[in-house]
Every structure is written in structure tokens, then in C-alpha cells.
Chains A and B, each alone.
Chain A
């Protein structure tokens, strides 16, 4: 990872008796797309709101380039709420100019930038439309343009692709990847684990305010407790028991899925399988983020 630009350091937040976040930490560097994955109530929105200065953490803090985020910095953050932050009664160009104006952009300049973005994303026709008439893809794209218009130094996006089509999601992530490549850290939340897994460089998995796993994507998806699928048609049941630290977790005919503990050697498993006769399959399985979320301990 490049040097951390945004550091979320052991943040905790309670709403009365409800723990929204418990000692959650996350770092994001320039050029990184960082995802916060979790189901409803996991604490994703609370975390983003704290980063955007909309909520105050009970403990812990957020640092930007090693310093606490000041009020002046908040205006340079591009924050997109889950609902989009658009006024249904406005025309698209007026809405974009208004959002630019909130960040100090001159009306003409805001209109110019809005036109550039709409043209670039193939949404020129939206200039004649009202926000209230847009479909989900169009609304999400307009919301993203509104967030990008002031050229923010940090992007905080709450469920930016909720309800979007695959095409729309591809468009959004094309833009976000470009922003990241230009040095703008992107922190986004989603309840779609596959989206975070396949589109983000780094992620935090939250469940009921508790961080289950945090790290770069290869670390999160790599097998700590590895899974291996083996199809050995000549083997007798329980053939893998000879390998220390190996446990069978699934059986489908002659195909078994084995879980290997830290001390188990996958080469020893392969040798044991070959010792039974033919081996038709020997596959190292990856564990998805969703699987990690759904497992009891998050391992």
C-alpha cells in the first residue's frame, strides 16, 4: 500500500444502548478504492458520516495526512449519502450547479463542469430532465457527478451503486478507479460483498458495529483456514485423516472439500490423495468476503 492518507483509528460510536461502531480502524492510501462491506445496521453509514464530519465519534479519531480533519478540510471532501442528496424538484443542470455552489463554485463554472461530465458519461440528454424523472442508474450517476463537481480530495460514498444495473455499476467504478488513479482516495460502503471484493483494493467487513476483518483484498480473500477440493474416485472414506490438521467439511460423491489448519501441508494432502489411486481434481478454493461475513467468527 502507498502511504496512508485517510486513517480511521479505533472509532467507537453508540446510539443509546446500541453499539453502532466498536473500535473500528481502517487506512486508505492514495490511489486506493476502499470498501466497507456489511449488511444493514453494520455501521457503514455511521462510519462514513463520522469521516464526513456529520457525526462525532465517542472515541477514536479520523486523520487526514496524519492530522485530525479540520472544518476547512470537510469542504474538500466529496460526500454522497445513500439517498443520493438530490432535490427531486430541480432540473439536472440546476441541481449540479447548486451542488457546485455549495462548495464555492461559480455558477458558470459549475454548469461547464457538469456539461463536461454529462457528455463524458454519455448522459447529455439528462440536461433536459428533472431529477424526479430519472431512473435509478441516472440518479446515481447524477449524484456521483454532483459529488465530483468540486473536484474533492477525498471521496466518501454511501451505497453509491445501490439498485443499479451492471452497466451502471461499471460506469460508476470506471469513474471511481480513475479518481483513485489520480490520487483521490475513495472510501465507499456497500452491502454487496461481491461488489466490494471484485472492485475494491482494500476492505473492512463490519457486522453489528464490530469489525470482522480489515485489510487489503488479497489478504482478506486468502485462505487462513484453506479449503481444498479433491476428487479421488478410488479413495476409501476418511482417506484424508492421515494428514495432520486436515478436516473434511463437505462430501459430494467422490469429491470432498477439506479444510486445512495452519499446521497442515497441502502437498501432504496431495500425496495422500495420489496414494489412493487416481486424482481427477485438486483445487485450492478462495473464500469470498460474504463467506467470511457469514462464518461465525469471521475467520
Chain B
């Protein structure tokens, strides 16, 4: 038998510790590649799943923040943008976000059976009804100056009123909902998309501007209108909007990384699931789940990656107003996955992403101890900060996202409250 101490075949090859130097260098190259991949592409992710109790507690805390934030104004508006370090409210307001926060407040009121939240949301509706523009049988929510009525604001006002209807069973705003719906229908283009706004002084729509998200908001509003008033024909407008969003919107809007992470469209599709969705709509929903999944995974890596995650070197954590929308969208797609078998194979992955992502979002909420160091802890407790500031829609999107993520964790497929709230003055 030949000895194992044979002279190396290539004695000219430089060696370190008996192995070819090139081999060591090659090994070092692979190790460097793996380290770089670990740092950049595959850092450790947040892997601590949320419990539904934890998420519902965060929802209640966010709802309470909204109620306290409304006390800063007497007309039903909320505190819009707040710098807690300087205890300063930044002077600005946005009607679309006002409607969105009100929607979230109704959602929390219904699920928490919280009459104070209901009353606060009703005050916010009074602000909106005082900012309506009526014409040709329709009504639209205007901006704070009363010069422009945006499709997005009106759509979210419809959603807010629909949420109130679901929470209370109270039909008092039915006529207004139909008027607002008529505005959305009037603003719908022949391709199913929407003109962006009505210019009140000019008495005509803005035919130049576009919005990436207004079509999704309008879609959900129209779908909810059909659910509330099944015989009115709102489903035809909703279907046209859905076909536009799922097949054309991203191209029309020049979205480079498609599909656009549109949680409003996800809500709309989930609402329409019982009507039956077409293959293009389902194909879009599947791609959308991938987009939300990717965004949530990246955020999970940012917080817990090696050396804090590479993203931490580049920018702050994303605001809750963005992170919350990803959780909202994924939650809506979870609901769709329970209603349409063509989405069922994605359900386990969606549930895992929701449990982990929602847990991360909930744990970023400022609790009482964290708020105690600020000049006005009451305006910080229950909020999410980004860049040292909190904007009211941070709480809106986080609240809605966490509420519906808790549904996914519990396996609760019905989005409506179980018990109707008594509506004041009904």
C-alpha cells in the first residue's frame, strides 16, 4: 500500500499549513462572501411572534391616543403632527388622513365596545360633515381650505361611515354615504381609474393630477357601499376599479417596483371575495402578498440584523404609517386567503409573516414608561415615533394593522364587531 505521506503532486505550488495557498485564499473569499451576505441580504430577523392579546392591547392604547389627541382641538380634528421632545404641535392638517384616523377609531370602538372612542369618532365625523361640498347630487369631503375635494378623502370618509354602520347598525348616515358614493362614481374614468379631485372654485375636476393610492381607497369604499346597499349597483363601479388596479394602475402610475404595496386594494379585494374574483385579480393578490411579505421581512431584518442590521446604517426604522400599511395589507390578504381557495396555499406564510411583523410593530409602540420622560406623556403614550415625531396616521395604520393581524392569529375571519354598540341619539 502506498504511503499517505506522499510528496505533494505539485511541489511548486506555494502552501500554507500544508494546503495550497490558493486554496486558503479561495476559502477566505467564500467566507467573505458569506459574511457580506449575512450583513447585507440575510441578517437575522425578528422572530418573536405576537399574541393576539398583545396586539389588542396595542390597538386599545392607540385608540386612546387618538381620543386624547382629539382633545387638542374643539372642532373634532386630531393632533396632526407632534414633536414630543419640544412638546410642539406642527401646524398642518390633512383631510384624507383625518378620514383615515376616524375610520380606525370606529374599528377600535366596535371591537373594544368603547363608547368613548365612538363618541370621539362621531365628533370627527362632524368636522367632515362641516367640510362637504355638494353638487349635482353628490357630496365630497373638501380640504381644510374648502377649495379641493379629493377622491381619497371622500373614499375614506365612506369607509369611516361604513365602519360606524358595522359597529352600531345605525343607518343615520346612509343618505350621506350614498351621496359620497355618487361623487366617487362621478369621478370614475371609463378605464375604471379615478380623476384625482374636484376643483371647487373652477367647478370642474382636476384632469391632470393622479394618485397611486386613491383608486384603492375608492375601490374599498365602493365595495363597502355594495355591502351596505346591495341593490344600488356600487359593485359595478367597484369591479371596474378592481380591474383597473389589478391590471393597469401600476403601469399608468409608472410604478417601477410592481406591484405597488397598496393595502387599500387588498382591503377591497378581501371585501369582494364573496362576489367572486377573476384570475387576474387573484394573480395580483398573490403578487401583492409577496410584496408585503418582502417589505415586512426587510423591516424584520433591519431591527434585529447582525450589528443592528445594515439598513440601520442607512436610515431610521420606517414610520408606523408605512409599516402599519404592510400589516394591514397582509391581514386583508389573509382574510382573502380564507375565502378563496386560490389563495389558500399562501395562508401559512401570511400568518407567519403577520405574527412576526405585527409583534415587531406592536413592540415599537411607546408605553407609559417610555412616555414618562416627555413633557406631555399623554400625547406620547400609545403612539409610534419616527424621526422623533408622531403623525396621526402612524397610529391609524398601526391600529388597523394590529387589529386585523390579531384576527389572523385568532383565526377570526369576520371583520365586523360581534356586538353592536348603542349609537348615541339613535
Genuine A/B complex = no
